[in-house]
Structures are given as structure tokens and as C-alpha cells.
Chains A and B, each alone.
Chain A
Amino acid sequence: MDTPGSMTSPTAPGLAAAEKPKAIPWYKSRVEKKNLRLGILFISPWIVGFLGLTLYPLLYTFYLSFTRFGGFKDPVWIGLANYQRMFNDDNFSKAMYNTFYFTFLAVPIGVVVALMLALAMDQPLPEIPLYRTLLYLPSILPLFATAFIFMTLLDPNQGIVNDFLRTLGFDPPNWFGDARYSKIAIIGMAQFGAGQMALIYLAGLKGIPTSLYEAAEIDGAGVFNRLFKITIPLMTPVILYSLISGISGGLQVFTQSFIITNGGPNNSTNFLVFYLYRNAFAYSNQMGYAAAMGVVLFVITVLMAGLIFFTSSRWVNYDMAG
């Protein structure tokens, strides 16, 4: 439908060269108004959800971060005290360190693992649907169940992983019980969910024209050359998406320490969201402090996503899209 508000270009066919483009009127016709009303009505569930469940909690959290609040009595305004306190709180610094440690290792490793899974899922084999299912299956397990599986697998004395390491002559560690290995174990566990991202990568792989590989092969390009010169550059838009969503998820890591380690040993798995949760729901009158942590986490997430997004023009290749 061609309406005054639609994308009417001066060079559109049928428009005389001498004619000046018509100014877009500020008012809307009855039909347009009706369409607008209907459109808003259709997206109203989202609008209500966004206003009530995202924007309001966000603003309220921001307000609470300047108060001392226990959830029941009236919040008491204390200005920037909650933010100042973070600088002196050992546990907060440790939680920040743990969270960044997890994110900066788990996310890049996750990208590599997901890409490898996607490449494996993309092999031209008759039984490939079966392999795809098997490779994807672990990622549909709830994190809660995965946690229990890993607790059994990585048990220091009876776990199959340590049994295997012992047969190879290693002195295996106490994965979740030793502060030196606990984060590594949780990073390893996070890779169980790589199947989800692998599916998106697979869709990306399917979008790369086979003619590019054929031409490269004729030119003598080997497997690695094709991977690094064709596949990965053309997959960078998908990698950008997975990095941003991975970092957002990584900064919110919580379930593993809640179920397996309770923040230990020696606070080594005390991640920021876990510490935030303890302050909000286990410690008295600390909901304001927890809210301040939430605000800091929000700002960090936005900054990191922004940083990746703005540097993306240097490494993301949109040739395929163009």
C-alpha cells in the first residue's frame, strides 16, 4: 500500500523528474490512524510486558540501588553508599573477578566448540540427522540436570573422569572442591550447552554458497585455507551474535554455583549474580546493595556489548548479506 508515510523515493518510477517530492504530512488519515491503533493493539501484549516486566523493574532497581531496603519496610535513601561500598567489599571484587574469568574463557571456548559442532553437523553423510540429534541433545538438558551429571562425572574419588585420568597415570584434581579447578570445571560444563549455538552456526554454514568452496578447491585451497579464508570470515555475523549473547549470558552465570558449589570453595565460584542473589534473599536489609550490583552488571553488559558491536565493523564480514 502506497501511503504518504511509506517509503516513497523521489526517484521512484512514475515520478516526473521536474516534480518536487511531496512533503510527508504530519497528520494521518483515518485509515492510517485505524491501522496504527490496530498495530498498537496487536503488539500491546509486548508493550505491557516490556513496560511492566522490564522497564519498571529496571527503573525501580535503579531507585533501590540508592536505598537501604529489606523488602518490607520503606526504603531509606542513602545516596551513593551502596556503590561506594562495592569498592571496599572483598567479596564483590572476588565475584567480579570470578565472573570475568568465567565469561572471558567460557564464551570464546563456546564459540570454538559451537563452530566445531556445526561443522560436524554439516558433513554430507547419510546418517547426519542422527549425529545432529546426538550433538544437540545435551543442550536441551536443563542446567539443573547437567549440574548433577557433572557432579557425578567429576567426583574426585568415584567419578569416571578422574578414574580415566588415573589410568593414564595422572593425579586427578578435586574439580569442584579445589579452588584452583572449580571455575575450570564450570567452564567445561558450560560447553554442554553449545549445541544451541551450533544450530545457528549450522544455519549460517548452509548459507555459504558451495560455489565459493568449489572455486577455492580448483585454486588449490586446502581444508584449513577454506576454513580460515571462506568459512570463518563469512560466519562472522553469526559469531558477532553469539559473542554478544554469550557475554550477556556469561555475566549472568548463577545456576552452577547455586546448585553445585554454593559459591565455594573459598569463594572461587562466587559469581556476581550469585552474590547479588545472596544479598537480596539471604542477607537482611541488603536488597538495595543487591540492586546496586544489578545496575553495575547492567552497565557492564551494555558497555561490553557496545564495545563488541562498535569494533565489529573491523572484523565482521557482511559480504554474504550484501
Chain B
Amino acid sequence: MSQFTHKRVNRRSVLKGAAATGLGLGVASSIYLPTAFAAQDAAPITFWTAHSGLGFDALTKISEQYNAMQSNYVVEIVQRPPGSETDVAGLITAVRSGEGPDVYLLDRFTVGERGASGLLEDLKPLMEAAGDDTDLSQTFAGFAAEEAQYDGGIYAMPFDTDLRALFYNKKMIEEAGADMAAWDKANGPMTFDSISEFLLSMNVEENGALTQAGFVPYFSQGWHYTYGFAWGGDFFDYENCTVSPDSEINLEAFQWVQDYCETAGFQKLYDFRQPSARPGAAPTDNPFIQGRLGAMISGNWEFAGFANYAPDTEYDFTFTPIPNEGDPSITWAGGWSAVVPAGANNVEGGYDFAKYMTSAEGQRTYVEINNNLPTNLALLDDVELLGENLAWFAQQMGTTRNRPVLPVGAKYWDEMTAAWERIYTGDASPADAMATARENTMMDMDAGGYCPIAPPK
């Protein structure tokens, strides 16, 4: 038998142990109890986001800051699986079953649509009750404020944003013989026609396939909206309450894209882009990162990607090109927003956190960690915070457009994207493709009985 089996536990040692344990618990409770009670009193706020990487880190930091600065609520951040921006199946089913979050980070261009369907709480009464300014344009960039409202209601608080511009690989275009002064953003925007021939000349083929391209018009952010807005077009006719993807100006823009793709070879361009366009493609599949694409229309979020995956690439950016000399360069912006889903368990807390997240303090944290553009007006002139590149993008906000706020925004996007594909693959003329998109979208508009829709203020 071992010596331990003979050891007796006497009363004194039990009392000593109990006293020590009691003392220990007492000390521990004096340290932890106030926090424990505070946490018990604070109402929980569940915050869902599909962000990952640095974006998620930044949102976590904002949640921590919020938890530390007040004691009424405790935010618990939950990472949701990423998916298509317009797909809110998870949110809809959760809200229907009463298990939805109190705050959700929603793509801002779908706010009107989700508000119209009843998925989101109207924040206006909460703002009025809290004495907050219901004129969002006093606090946020105009286009972002516009996207957060629908039919007199305020359904979101604008968070970050992203603007489009023409990015280019300096070394590649210089070696191809570009006039570098024209590409310098200090000298203003170039016209599409002035660069198309040069960009086409950069295409290199091997065995009938492109191994290098100067430009793929629909790569990255080369969307229907990008070209329509660049040409000065509109996508909704408020007077007649109809979507207008096939307006004369838009068709002119889309024709330029189709002509470019036809000259380069529809299928060759498509195949060149395909590896980077497939779902789950790695950032290193991007031909711009690989040094095989001369120029692309993309957004300010690329800076982080370049730093990570192409640190040695010499790149620069300039205005989105213009159709005619003297025209203003018009780009468009998207971004995220904080919403409170209908029937949230903690509506007041949800609004309170949404307000903090989108405040100057919350957005500052987001910019510092994720290096993205804020929408809060208080930060747009802060060059120290934004850095030189983001500050340039912030300056373009004056001519920045946003997608029209419609109750059929997601459908409209899908229809135009299907039409867009037909245009850049040469499957249909811009007029035919976009007429189909208009008809199909209007079918949803008519079925929903949404007309008339008031134009944004």
C-alpha cells in the first residue's frame, strides 16, 4: 500500500483548507463580482456579420469598444457564413423563427428592398425617441444616406463605402508604350476611346489563348452600373416609375463595352478572366495580381490585397475614364450598413449599437484596421486617418452615384447582370439584352404594386 493511503485527514487540516478556500473565493469575488453583476444587468445585443479577415477583426474591436464604454448592453458578435450579398435566406428564416439578431450588417443597396418587405425595423421612431437627427445627410455622405432610406422610413445606419477607379500596372503599361502623363490622375480623366486601342495592343496570345491582356472591361468592378454611370446614365425613371437599363445613354455605354470585347475576341477575354471569376478563387488567381493584366476598374479595397499579394507590383490608379473630353468622371459606390431586423429581441440596444458602430468613433476604428472608406462626414477630410490614397477616393464622393433604391433592387441587379453577360459575350445586342432585363424586372415591380416611387430628396 502506498503511503498516501495511511495519511489521515484530521479536522484541523479540513478547517485550514476551508478557510483558505473561503479567503480565496472572497478575494476572487471582490475582483470579479462587479463585472459579473454588470454583465448580468446588461442586456445582450446579438450582432451578425458575414465579414471575415480584417473586416471581422475591426468589427470585433468596435464591439469591444462599445462594451467598454457603456454598461447597459453587451454586444456578442457572431460570424455568419459568407454568401451572395442579395441572399438573406439565413436572416429571413432566423427572423421568422424569432431567433434573429439584434443588429445585422447588410449590403446597403438592398436596404430599401428589405425595408419594403418588412424584414427591417424602421429606425426613425427610435431616432426620434432618442432625440437623434433624422436627417442622415447631416452625418453621412449623401449617396449613403439615400441608400439607407425608403418610402419615408429609415431602415439602416450607413457604415463604410467603396468607390471605383481605374487601377493600372505602371510597369506593364509603360513598357507597352503608354503616355504616362495621361495616366497620371493629376492630369484628370482619360476618355475610353483614347485608351482602348492602346489597351488592346497589350493583349498577348499563346496557342489561341490570351496570356496577357491590357483590359477586360467586365473584370472586377466593370459592371453595367459602372459604364452606365460613367456615361452619365440613370437606371430608374421616377416620372414613369420604370427601370431604365436600356436608356439611350446606357446603351451607348454598353455598346462601347461590346465593341471592345468583340475586337479583343469575346471568348478569349472570357476565358482569360474565368479562373479568377470562379467561386472560391484565390486572390492570387487575379491576373492583375499575377502581372498579366494592364488595367482594371476596381475599388479602394484593392490596396490591402496589393499589399498582401503583390507587394512588389508598381501600380497606380486614376479616374474612371469618361466618354467625351471635358465630361466629369462619374463613379459609383456601394458599402455596408447596420440594420435592426424586425422583431429583434433588443430593438433599442440594436439601434444603440448601430449608432455607435456608424459613429465617427466606430468608423474610425474600422478604417484604422480594415483600411476602408468611411461614410461619416466627420472623417472624410481626415487625411491623416485615410492616408493619401483613400483621401483621393474620398474627394471623388461629390460625383459618386449609388444604385437606385428600389424594392426590386436585387432582382434588377440579377437581371442586368444576366443581360450584361449576354452583352460582353456577344450573345445579344445591348438593346435586346437590356430590354429583357427591363421587362423581367418590371414584372416584379408590377406584381408588387410598388408604384409610384418618390425620387430621393
A interface residues (Cβ-Cβ under 8 A, vs B) = 68, 70-73, 81, 85, 88-91, 148, 151, 155-158, 166, 171, 174, 176-179, 259-260, 262-267, 277-278, 280-286, 289
Minimum CB–CB distance from B111 to chain A (whole Å) comes to 11
B interface residues (Cβ-Cβ under 8 A, vs A) = 84, 86-89, 92, 95-96, 113-114, 116-119, 207-209, 267, 270-272, 274-275, 277-280, 342, 407-408, 410-411, 414, 418, 421-422, 425, 427, 436, 439-440, 443-444, 447-449
* Alpha-carbon distance A178/B280, docked complex (angstroms): 19
Cβ–Cβ contact A81 & B410, under 8 A: no
CB within 8 Å for A157 and B274 given contacts A68-B447, A71-B96: yes
Minimum CB–CB distance from A94 to chain B (whole Å) comes to 10
* Alpha-carbon distance A75/B4, docked complex (angstroms): 75
Cβ–Cβ contact A284 & B418, under 8 A: no
* Alpha-carbon distance A259/B81, docked complex (angstroms): 13
Cβ–Cβ contact B271 & A174, under 8 A: yes
When distances are taken between beta carbons in the complex, the residues of chain B under 8 Å from A157 are: 209, 271-272, 274-275
Cβ–Cβ contact A179 & B427, under 8 A: yes
Total A-B residue contacts, Cβ distance less than 8 Å: 117
When distances are taken between beta carbons in the complex, the residues of chain B under 8 Å from A267 are: 418
Cβ–Cβ contact B117 & A285, under 8 A: yes
Cβ–Cβ contact B114 & A284, under 8 A: yes
Q: Can you identify 18 A-B contacts, CB atoms within 8 angstroms?
A: A88-B443, A89-B443, A151-B280, A155-B274, A155-B275, A177-B270, A178-B270, A179-B427, A263-B418, A266-B422, A282-B87, A282-B88, A282-B89, A282-B414, A284-B114, A284-B410, A284-B444, A285-B116
When distances are taken between beta carbons in the complex, the residues of chain B under 8 Å from A90 are: 436, 439-440
Which of A72, A89, A177 interacts with B117 by CB under 8 Å?
Answer: A72
Minimum CB–CB distance from A243 to chain B (whole Å) comes to 32
* Alpha-carbon distance A280/B439, docked complex (angstroms): 20
When distances are taken between beta carbons in the complex, the residues of chain B under 8 Å from A85 are: 443, 447
Which of A156, A171, A278 interacts with B414 by CB under 8 Å?
Answer: A278
* Alpha-carbon distance A286/B436, docked complex (angstroms): 19
Cβ–Cβ contact B84 & A285, under 8 A: no
Cβ–Cβ contact B271 & A156, under 8 A: yes
When distances are taken between beta carbons in the complex, the residues of chain A under 8 Å from B407 are: 284-285
* Alpha-carbon distance A178/B271, docked complex (angstroms): 9
* Alpha-carbon distance A70/B444, docked complex (angstroms): 12
Cβ–Cβ contact A177 & B440, under 8 A: no
Cβ–Cβ contact A281 & B87, under 8 A: yes
When distances are taken between beta carbons in the complex, the residues of chain A under 8 Å from B414 are: 263, 278, 282-283
* Alpha-carbon distance A179/B426, docked complex (angstroms): 12
Cβ–Cβ contact A174 & B425, under 8 A: no
Minimum CB–CB distance from A154 to chain B (whole Å) comes to 10
Minimum CB–CB distance from B104 to chain A (whole Å) comes to 14
5 closest cross-chain pairs (CB), A and B: A72-B118, A70-B117, A281-B89, A284-B117, A284-B113
When distances are taken between beta carbons in the complex, the residues of chain A under 8 Å from B89 are: 277, 280-282
Of B267, B342, B414, B427, which is in contact with the most chain A CB atoms at under 10 Å from its CB? Answer: B414
When distances are taken between beta carbons in the complex, the residues of chain B under 8 Å from A71 are: 92, 96, 117-119
When distances are taken between beta carbons in the complex, the residues of chain B under 8 Å from A283 are: 408, 410-411, 414, 444
When distances are taken between beta carbons in the complex, the residues of chain B under 8 Å from A278 are: 414
Cβ–Cβ contact B425 & A265, under 8 A: yes
